[in-house]
A and B are shown apart, each in its own frame.
Chain A
Amino acid sequence: MFRKQNTYVKKTRSGGILKIVKEHYIRGDIWCGVIGCRECKGEPVLDPHSAEFNTSIPSPYLIVVDTNVVLHHPDFLENNAIHDVIVPQSVQEEVKHRNQMSYKRLRQIIDQKDGKKRFHVFLNKHHSSTFSEQVSESANDYNDRLIRLVCAFYQQHVNEHATPCNIILLSDDKENRDKAVAEHSIQALSTREYIHGLGEKHHTLLDYLSTVEGKDLDIAPKTKIIYPEYLKLSLLKAGIRDGNLLQGVYEANRNNYQEGYVSCKINEDYKEMLISGVVNINRAIHGDVVVVETFPEEEWRAPSGIIKEDNTIGDGEEIDEDLKDVMSNIKKTMTGKIVGILEQKRRQFCGVIQYSEYFAHGRHHMFIPDNKAIQKVCIETRQIDTLKGQRIVVKIDTWPRTSRYPEGHLVRMIGTVGDKDVENEVIMLEHDIIFDPFPNSAIKELPAVPWTISEAEYARRRDLRHIPVCSVDPPSCTDIDDALHCIQIPETNLVEIGVHIADVSHFIRPNSVLDTEAARRGTTVYLADKRIDMVPGLLSTNLCSLREGEERLAFSVIWKIDPETAGIIDTIFTKSVIQSKAALSYEAAQERIDDVNQNDVITQGLRQLNAISKKLKQKRIDNGALILASPEVRFQVDTETHEPINLENKKELDTNSMVEEFMLLANVSTAKKTYEFSPNCAILRRHPEPPDHNYKPLLRATESRGLTIDTSSAKALSESLQSCTIPNNPFSNTLLKILTTRCMQQAKYFCSGTLKKEEFYHFGLANEIYTHFTSPIRRYPDILVHRLLASAIGVDPPDSSLTDEKITKERCDNCNFRHTNAQRVGRASVELTTVLLLKGKTYREEAYVTQVKKNAIRVLVPKYGYEGFVFFEIKDTGVSLEYNDDLLKLTINETVTISVFDRLVVEIKVVEPDVQHQRIQLKLVEPFIKDISVSPTDCIPMDTSMDSNNNNNNNDTESKPLPKRFKNN
Chain B
Amino acid sequence: MYRPVRLSVYEREYIIGGAEASIRSDGRKETEYRDFSIELGVVSNAYGSARVDLHSDTTVVMTAVKAELVAPLDDRPDEGKVEFSVECSPVVGPGFEGHSSDFIGLGITHLVKKTFLTSPNAFNTKSLCVLSGRQNWCLYVDTLILQMGGNLVDVVMIAIRAALENTRLPRTTIVEEGEVPEIEISDDPTSQIQIDTTGIPLCVTLHKVGIKVLVDARRDEETCSRACMHVIVNQTGKVCGMHMSQGGSFTPKQVLSGVERAVLQSKAMFESIREKINAIDVHRDSISIFLT
Contact = CB atoms under 8 A, between A and B. Distances in A.
Given A234-B175, A234-B178, A134 B291 contact: no
B182 A234 contact: yes
A139 B180 contact: no
A98 to B, nearest CB: 14
A3 B288 contact: yes
B82 interface: no
A1 B292 CA distance: 7
B130 to A, nearest CB: 10
Given A139-B187, A234-B178, A237-B178, A15 B289 contact: no
Interface in A224-251: 232, 234-235, 237-239, 241-242
B74 interface: no
A17 B188 contact: no
Contact of A17 (B44, B185, B190): B185
Given A16-B69, A17-B67, A136-B190, A2 B178 contact: no
Given A7-B44, A15-B135, A2 B289 contact: yes
B189 A8 contact: yes
A10 to B, nearest CB: 8
Given A2-B288, A9-B185, A134 B68 contact: no
Contacts of A238: 177-180
A2 B46 CA distance: 22
A636 B193 CA distance: 79
B188 A134 contact: yes
A487 B44 CA distance: 83
A19 B290 CA distance: 24
Q: Among the interface residues A9, A20, A134, A136, which one has the most CB atoms of the partner chain B within 10 A?
A: A9
A135 interface: yes
Interface string B162-191: 000000001000010111101111011111
B190 A21 contact: no
A328 interface: no
Contacts, number: 67
Interface in B169-226: 170, 175, 177-180, 182-185, 187-191
A4 B41 CA distance: 13
A9 B44 CA distance: 12
A235 B170 contact: no
B270 interface: no
A756 to B, nearest CB: 37
B184 A1 contact: no
B8 interface: no
Nearest to A6: B189
Given A9-B170, A136-B190, A235 B291 contact: no
Contact of A21 (B44, B69, B178): B44
A11 interface: yes
A641 interface: no
B68 A16 contact: yes
A41 to B, nearest CB: 20
A5 interface: yes
Contacts of B2: none
Nearest to A235: B178
A3 B189 contact: no
A138 interface: yes
A69 B248 CA distance: 78
Interface in A107-166: 134-136, 138-139
Nearest to B189: A8
B69 A8 contact: no
Interface in B276-292: 287-291
B251 interface: no
A27 to B, nearest CB: 10
Nearest to B292: A1
B47 interface: yes
B173 to A, nearest CB: 12
Given A1-B291, A9-B170, A17-B68, A136 B188 contact: yes
A17 B170 contact: yes
A19 B180 contact: no
A809 B182 CA distance: 37
A19 B289 contact: no
Contact of A235 (B177, B185, B290): B177
B118 interface: no
Nearest to B130: A17
Contact of A11 (B45, B179, B185): B185
B190 A135 contact: yes
A348 B220 CA distance: 81
Given A134-B189, A135-B190, A19 B291 contact: no
Contact of B187 (A2, A8, A15, A232): A8
A11 B171 CA distance: 12
A135 B188 CA distance: 9
Contact of B287 (A5, A135, A241): A5
Contact of A19 (B46, B177, B188): B46
B190 A134 contact: yes
Interface string A616-654: 000000000000000000000000000000000000000
28 contacts: A2-B288, A3-B288, A3-B289, A3-B291, A4-B287, A5-B44, A5-B287, A7-B45, A8-B187, A8-B189, A9-B170, A9-B185, A9-B189, A11-B183, A15-B69, A16-B69, A20-B45, A134-B189, A134-B190, A136-B191, A139-B188, A232-B177, A234-B177, A234-B178, A235-B178, A238-B179, A238-B180, A241-B179
Interface of B: 44-47, 67-69, 135, 170, 175, 177-180, 182-185, 187-191, 287-291
Interface of A: 1-5, 7-11, 15-17, 19-21, 134-136, 138-139, 232, 234-235, 237-239, 241-242
Given A9-B187, A17-B170, A139-B188, 16 more contacts: A5-B44, A7-B44, A9-B170, A10-B185, A15-B183, A17-B69, A19-B47, A21-B45, A232-B177, A235-B178, A237-B178, A238-B178, A238-B179, A238-B180, A241-B179, A242-B179
- By Cβ-Cβ distance, the 9 closest A-B pairs, closest first, are A238-B178, A234-B177, A9-B170, A234-B178, A21-B44, A21-B45, A238-B179, A2-B290, A4-B288
